[in-house]
A = this chain, B = another copy of it.
Amino acid sequence: MKYTADLKKTVAFNNKTTHCVGTGRMDLALHKEYLDQLKLTQDEIGFSYIRGHGLFSKYMGIYREFRHMEGKAEYCFTYLDMVMDSYLEMNIRPILELGFMPDDLASGTETTFFWKGKISPPKDYKKWTDLVQATLRHLIERYGIDEIRNWPVEVWNEPNLPSFWKDADMDEYFKLYELTSRAVKEVDAQIRVGGPAICGVDDERWLKAFLDFVKEKNLPMDFVSRHHYTSYMPRLDGHYAYIDLHEPENAFKWLERSRDIVDSYDEFKGMEIFITEFNTSYVPNAPIHDTVLNATYVAHMLSRLGDKHESYSYWTFGDLFEEFGVPFTPFHGGFGLVADGLIKKPTFYTFAFYKKLQGDCLLRGEDAIVVKAENGDIRGLVWNADLYNEDKNKEIEIDIESLEDGEYFMIEKFVDENHANPLKMWHEMGEPASMNNEQKNLLRAAAEPGIESSNKIVKDGKLSLAFNLNPNELRYFEIKKIKRTSDTGYDYEAVIAQKCVPDENQA
């Protein structure tokens, strides 16, 4: 590919990469490993929001009815405080997904996941809205109303699937949405609420029906939410799920359909859409997530998802996650950007690199993005997504124009089969389930990206860059103008020219 980027011309690019990230169920946020993984993520990427399930599930301990007190409902916010304190300390705040049903409030016994989230409607809707309101009021008392107005509230998760909402009963969900959205606004009119958080394959039926319902009842709705996964049904083998990926363009089309539906309503035209979950595969035992292909495939997605969405939340930041039970090995196809043991996976860098692509966009192509940052640096990302396993290198040339003449410092960081790919090394180690510290440290070192640097001279405003990318390579670059000021007597050429001299030759 051959591109030109001109500092005098900008193109559209709505980079919301770090708006939100997914997480395992909320009480896992009490775990040390979870918090360590989140800290690593926040230190190097820094998401604004975090969204996951389980706010009201059993082990958060919020809702209890006590038999010896005639079934009196009591609210316990001990763990909620711990979790939210931890989040705020790490400068991240929740999108509050309301769900699943507290054990003591569920009308049925149906559950989802290893950890048995209850998926039936409340046995008493009044008790449910009381719970929602009590929770919000507690949060307001602890963190202040200004803070809570920044925490979007999403009603339930994937009600269009029977595994998450009993019988995927649409009318029951609409009832839940109606009562819940009104209860939220009763607490404070500025708290934002949305739904329907559908898994994203049911637009025509569910999304339309939902919007019709909201419109008809004139319900509060501040954003629309859906999910987005781009794999076919997996093939199972033992503990693992192997997948085929959809071709990227196909996947983008599904999303456009949602946007079109929303925009077809005068009332909702242009309303913010939150993709509150996305990833390649939708199961937490899909080894695709650990690969360099995942990193470049997602790089491609991130170049476009902002076009029609205000948020797209990668599912999930870390591998401390228990939907299918406790993983048997550190690399087990978990959703996380970070593997257990604090080992960054290739896709971690997709986000770390995109995070830097803020500023005026100069170029956005199939496999390249270039921006001019606020401080004047030129930053870019190029990638070679080996979608069809062809194992070919790719040449990318980028001419950058209208630069200030002079000397520049160029730094490149890259991920490929042999860099920032700890899965490969873990395989070579013999795929150990139980690792010692030496192994973990080695994998952490192997998880760092390659790094290269050079000087570039710009003349007549122009700089030509040529990249030869390995299969599934993801390469970030940064170009900074420098002011060279050598210290008195320092001469780098002389430094590296020093050598051995035989006695007879020495002056």
Contact = CB atoms under 8 A, between A and B. Distances in A.
Interface in A452-507: 452-455, 482-492, 494-503, 506
B445 A487 contact: no
A293 B431 contact: no
A433 to B, nearest CB: 6
Interface centre among A35, A322, A431, A487, by most chain B C-beta atoms within 10 angstroms, is: A487
A492 B452 CA distance: 30
Contacts of A287: 490, 494-495, 498
A499 B242 contact: no
Contact of A428 (B424, B454, B494, B497): B454
A499 B81 contact: no
B389 A409 contact: no
A428 to B, nearest CB: 5
B455 A325 contact: no
A488 B69 contact: yes
A500 B433 contact: no
Given A434-B77, A434-B81, A434-B138, A389 B328 contact: no
| Copies of this chain held together in the complex | 4
A82 B325 contact: no
Interface residues of A, number: 104
A451 interface: yes
Contact of A77 (B238, B293, B433, B502): B433
A157 to B, nearest CB: 22
Contacts of A425: 411, 453
A448 to B, nearest CB: 7
Nearest to A238: B489
Contacts of A506: 232, 244
Interface in A294-344: 297, 322, 325-330, 332, 340
A232 B501 contact: yes
5 contacts: A240-B491, A244-B506, A245-B501, A433-B487, A448-B448
Interface of A: 30-33, 35, 59-61, 64, 66, 68-69, 72, 74, 76-79, 81-82, 86, 138, 141-142, 232, 236-240, 242-248, 250, 287-288, 290-291, 293, 297, 322, 325-330, 332, 340, 386-389, 407, 409, 411, 418, 423-425, 427-434, 436, 442, 445-446, 448, 451-455, 482-492, 494-503, 506
Cβ-closest 7 pairs across A and B: A238-B489, A61-B326, A238-B488, A430-B482, A237-B489, A244-B501, A287-B495
